[in-house]
Amino acid sequence: MTALRVGVLALQGDVREHTRMLTGLGADVVPIRRPEELARVEGLVLPGGESSVIDKLSRAFGMREPLRAAIADGMPVLGTCAGLILLAERLVDGIEGQQTLGGLDVTVRRNAFGGQVESFETELDVPAVGGPPVRATFIRAPIVEEVGPAAEVIASLPDGRLVGVRQDAIIGLSFHPELDSETRFHELFLASVRDA
């Protein structure tokens, strides 16, 4: 069986961690910086990092419209932290002029937990991935404030705040499974690439 060829948007953020995890799961991983590279992959990871910087760089590198088109055309996507922000149709507390790529029918609040010092780890029950609770690391993380009818919640904190959503072949997470050796979300992503 040939390996699935997937991309990790490599403009800024934790590209290496996602690449290592996907390679470990048998995928052929391509760093994506240009539109022609995007055209060669079957799925895409939008990594954690600084969402406003990734937004600016995507425009500077001519990637914004190709990314929007690929997502709109149904390319499977996994977005973690900043990646979730980029996938949101609606953004609260973005910097002036900040834009998203869209794809998830959600409203996301940027840096909802405060600064770096408010980072934390917790365990989450996520029936969508099965098995024991998920170890989740939140670093200057966003929160999903509102979920439209097209999207479904797959993870929430014990206090009810929403931290994971899915819509068709798109998965958006507030936390960083790639930092905790938590492979189940990447496996779910690869399964959706295979199905597509």
Q: Which of 17, 89, 176, 186 is catalytic?
A: 176
Query: Which residue's entry shows tokens 């780890």?
Result: 121
186 catalytic residue (yes or no) = no
The Cα–Cα gap between 5 and 3 comes to 6
Query: Which residue's entry shows tokens 């390319």?
Result: 75
Q: Which of 17, 89, 178, 182 is catalytic?
A: 178
Task: Give the DSSP letter string of 119-150.
Answer: -EEEEE--GGG-SSPEEEEESS--EEEEE-TT
Q: 109: which strand partners?
A: 92, 143
Q: Which of 81, 89, 182, 186 is catalytic?
A: 81
187 catalytic residue (yes or no) = no
178 catalytic residue (yes or no) = yes
Instruction: Give the active site residues.
Output: 81, 176, 178
